[in-house]
Amino acid sequence: MKIVRRLALVAGVLLLLLGIGVAALFALFDEKQVKAQLTERVYASTQRKLSIDGELALSVWPDVGVRVGQLTLTERGNDTPFATVGSARLAVAVLPLLSKRVEVRRIEVDGLVVKLLRKKDGSLNIDDLAGDKKVPESAEKPAASPALRFDIAGVELRNARLTWRDDIANTTTTISDLDFSSDRLLGDLAARHFRVEKLMLATAGSSGTDQFELKLAAPLLSLEGETLDSKAVDLMARLSGAGRTVEARLGLAGIAGSGKALKVSDFRFELDAKSGEATIKAQLASPVAVDSETRVIALDKLAGTIEVASPKLPMKQLKLPLSGQLRTDLAKQTADLKLATAVDESKIGLQARVSKFTPLGLEFALDIDRLNVDKYLPPAPAGAEKPAAKAGSGEAKIDLAALKTLNLKGSVNIGQLTAQRIEVSRLSAHIAAAGGRLDIAPLSAGLYGGTLNGSIGVNANNNQFAIRQNLAGIQIAPLLKALINKEPLEGRGSVSMDVTTRGDSVPALKKGLAGQAALDLRDGAVKGINIAKSLRDLQGVLGAKKTTTVAASSAEKTDFSELSASFRINAGVAHNDDLQMKSPLLRLTGNGDIDIGEDRVDYLAKISVVNTTTGQQGKDLAKLKGVTIPLRMRGPYAQISYSLELGNVVEEVVKEQIKEKAKTQLGDKLKGLFGR
């Protein structure tokens, strides 16, 4: 009991002394004098003006400390505000006060606003505070100060706002609603000793209709000389709005090493995004090595997955495993990436090199053994075939702005490719983009039994496109089926085109087409009409001397042994005047226009029967041998009408019959003359 009474007595004495000390503090504290001294010392050491507009007062609960209201710190050498504080509190340990020592226990700051600036000469407006040598020599230099040491039990920063203005890039970035807290914060800059416990950083805000949130947590960060140690660092970022959410998490564990060479045994990145009913999830992990002297960062064992799910996908869900390597050199502004993945039967390999970060310069090589793009795209809606939209009817604009900043070159090689129903093999394309231009040249592939060779050029500076293609030995029917879901022609042969166009929508591009094209096919057919059958039916109405319309039918076709034509294209209209189509029974020539911009045809073909000894069809057309019959083709692509324009056909038939009769009579007379 004596011990308890003695301890109580000692405690009472200490409390009495503390009370006396607190009373003395309040009695001796002169707010105006303290403000003046602080202002003078700050200006003498930094050449910045400190204004304390709020109350400066002592507090004793929950611990002894100093409270300050509104204060402002200006830029060096002028009155422009650099930082402002709404309120702050500095708490100190009680017992050291008895020995006339001040030990900070806790710092609380509310409403901090800091404006950071990078000037056009590259200097920062905080260079003088960091002791940077860029401070002008003419400026008054602050007196030397002892090396900074601190041992703070806790720090709390609430409702902070940070603005970064870059006069070189002419950009401004603002971070608001920033909260920061930590437990013990220990530092000795001279001894290169730093330690922070339970670090927490959080901010939230909005950008337009989007809401964002950012959180950083680190249980322990420690620096002893050159040795860095950390248990873990976790970073979370979330963006939401307009029916979509994106959440990304970055985790670092096993952080060890020095300022010169740092290793992270476990780096993890996770992404969880949702837009409507579609979701994307990604995971990536690798050890990380950082060499601060060479400024090289290496992730040598990248591994992860990407999962995409959507009810609109044919397979509903798609999962891609990833593996590879990433190495970046910050000093040289270069990066190298190797990545491999597989999806279904496809094996995909990508090698990429960034030759420059700003502006971005990229080189790449993409290799795929086989790929069916259509398998992973939503199916076309029922009845998807619609008439082409007219210019000015709300057609989506083609935006090529992204090409203006693109600087890349590379190659794409695909063994087997199916895209938009088109099947190609041995696809090889070299791609280059710079100065707003994109060039794919050379471009080659195997295509429906033949080959494709050519180039494609796009100029974003004036929305101009150029296409040069030569297709040789191809089967035309399956190609047309893939392109327009129709088969108006059959046959094997060659197609060539050299066209340019300009516009910011598909209708405008179609109307702006110019150049030339050619077609040369063998052993095929024109679908939609059987000319021989139509001519047989025509013989019964020859006397009518009128135009007879023949209904187009997908079941009908006209065979040919040869078909050739060339086109001159101007303002979206392809004009032809050298059509030649041959078959054992018929010859067909013609001229006319294909209006690509309006999806219409206006063409006049001239049909001649040349051989009436070819089967029953020829015998049935004996009356029309040597007669030219016009065939008019008009209308939109989907509803072309065929009209046989009879006109003077009857007179031509009579003339041909008279000629044949005259030949027969002349032959008989000649036989009688020579006695045969």
- Would you state the pLDDT for residue 444? 95
- Would you state the pLDDT for residue 515? 95
Note if the bond before 311 is cis, omega within 30 degrees: no
- Would you state the pLDDT for residue 351? 96
In the three-class reduction of DSSP (H, G, I as helix; E, B as strand; rest coil), residue 531 is classed as helix
CA angle 228, 233, 235 (to 5 degrees): 145
- What gap in Å lies between CA 473 and CA 478, rounded to an integer? 13
The alpha carbons of the chain give a radius of gyration, in whole angstroms, of 42
Residues in CB range of 525: below 8 A, 6 or more apart? 489, 490, 491, 557, 558, 559, 560
- Would you state the pLDDT for residue 549? 62
Extract the tokens encoding 478. Answer: 């399956």
Inter-residue contact 467 to 453 (CB < 8 Å)? no
Select from 103, 78, 74 the least CA-distant residue to 91.
103
- Would you state the pLDDT for residue 673? 44
Any domain includes 170: yes
- Would you state the pLDDT for residue 625? 66
- Would you state the pLDDT for residue 377? 75
Write phi, then psi, for 287 (nearest 5 degrees): -70, 155
Question: In terms of residues, how long is the chain?
Answer: 676
600 forms beta bridges with 595, 636
The span from the first CA to the last CA of the chain, in angstroms, equals 166
Question: Which residue matches tokens 């009845």?
Answer: 383
Any domain includes 379: no
Averaged pLDDT of the chain: 79
- What gap in Å lies between CA 429 and CA 419, rounded to an integer? 15
Select from 382, 404, 386 the least CA-distant residue to 395.
386
Any domain includes 18: no
- pTM of the predicted model over 0.75: no
- Would you state the pLDDT for residue 164? 83
- What gap in Å lies between CA 57 and CA 416, rounded to an integer? 79
Inter-residue contact 521 to 492 (CB < 8 Å)? yes
- Would you state the pLDDT for residue 201? 87
Any domain includes 114: yes
Q: Which residues of the chain have pLDDT under 70?
A: 1-31, 34, 58-64, 93-103, 130-149, 189, 207-208, 259, 378-395, 535-554, 611-627, 645-676
Any domain includes 56: yes
Extract the tokens encoding 518. Answer: 């050619």
Select from 77, 143, 275, 124 the least CA-distant residue to 133.
124
Question: Which residue matches tokens 């009680």?
Answer: 94
Extract the tokens encoding 253. Answer: 């564990």
Range of the domain at 637: 517-662
172-181: pLDDT as tens digits: 877 778 888 8
CA dihedral 461, 467, 468, 474 (to 10 degrees): 160
- Would you state the pLDDT for residue 458? 95
Select from 63, 6, 68, 58 the least CA-distant residue to 27.
58
- What gap in Å lies between CA 429 and CA 452, rounded to an integer? 11
- Host H or E run for residue 268: strand 261-275
Domain count, the chain: 2
- Would you state the pLDDT for residue 341? 93
Last residue of a domain, which of 159, 191, 223? 191
Any domain includes 310: no
Q: DSSP letter at 625?
A: B
Last residue of a domain, which of 155, 172, 191? 191
Write phi, then psi, for 9 (nearest 5 degrees): -65, -45
Task: Dump strand ranges (E) for 135-192.
Answer: 149-152, 154-166, 171-182, 185-188
Select from 488, 486, 474 the least CA-distant residue to 423.
474
- Would you state the pLDDT for residue 452? 94
CA dihedral 66, 68, 74, 76 (to 10 degrees): -10
- What gap in Å lies between CA 206 and CA 377, rounded to an integer? 34
Q: Distances in Å between the alpha carbon of 160 and those of 23, 109, 182, 214, 626?
A: 34, 9, 15, 14, 95
